[in-house]
Amino acid sequence: MHKGRLERVRNALDRTPSEGPYESKLRHMETYLVKIIEDLEKQMNYSGQEDNANYKDPAIGGNIVASYKQQEMLKMKIDQAISILRREKKKLSISKIAEMAKIARKTIYNNPELKQRCDQAIHI
């Protein structure tokens, strides 16, 4: 399923003019799909032939693809909140970033990658 999508994205990239916004979007999709495929292959020896929609990762207790999408969504919300707070020239803190992103502070503190992202923004 994902390998088919990746192939279609790469075919579209071949036909797309370079340095355009559509190419940038396709590159992002390509990176996203490659990461999903690598994760699936690593965790369940996924070969691309089986339907993996119902696979539950025991480490996270849920669907790998859904978890990855949720993580990407949280990163995007954090980045947008940081951007808005900087634009408004407000002092950055994890509390203010969480409030602006409409997520719980605990979510940031429980996720090392999100915490590191916030800490970097605060100390720049």
Read off the pTM. Answer: 0.50
pLDDT digits (tens, 9 = 90+) for 80-104: 999 999 999 989 999 999 999 999 9
* 75-99 residues labelled b (16+ CB within 10 A) or e (exposed): eebbeebbeebeeeeeebebebbbe
pLDDT digits (tens, 9 = 90+) for 23-34: 788 788 888 888
pLDDT digits (tens, 9 = 90+) for 48-87: 555 555 555 444 445 555 677 788 889 999 999 999 999 9
pLDDT of residue 35: 83
pLDDT of residue 72: 85
pLDDT of residue 31: 86
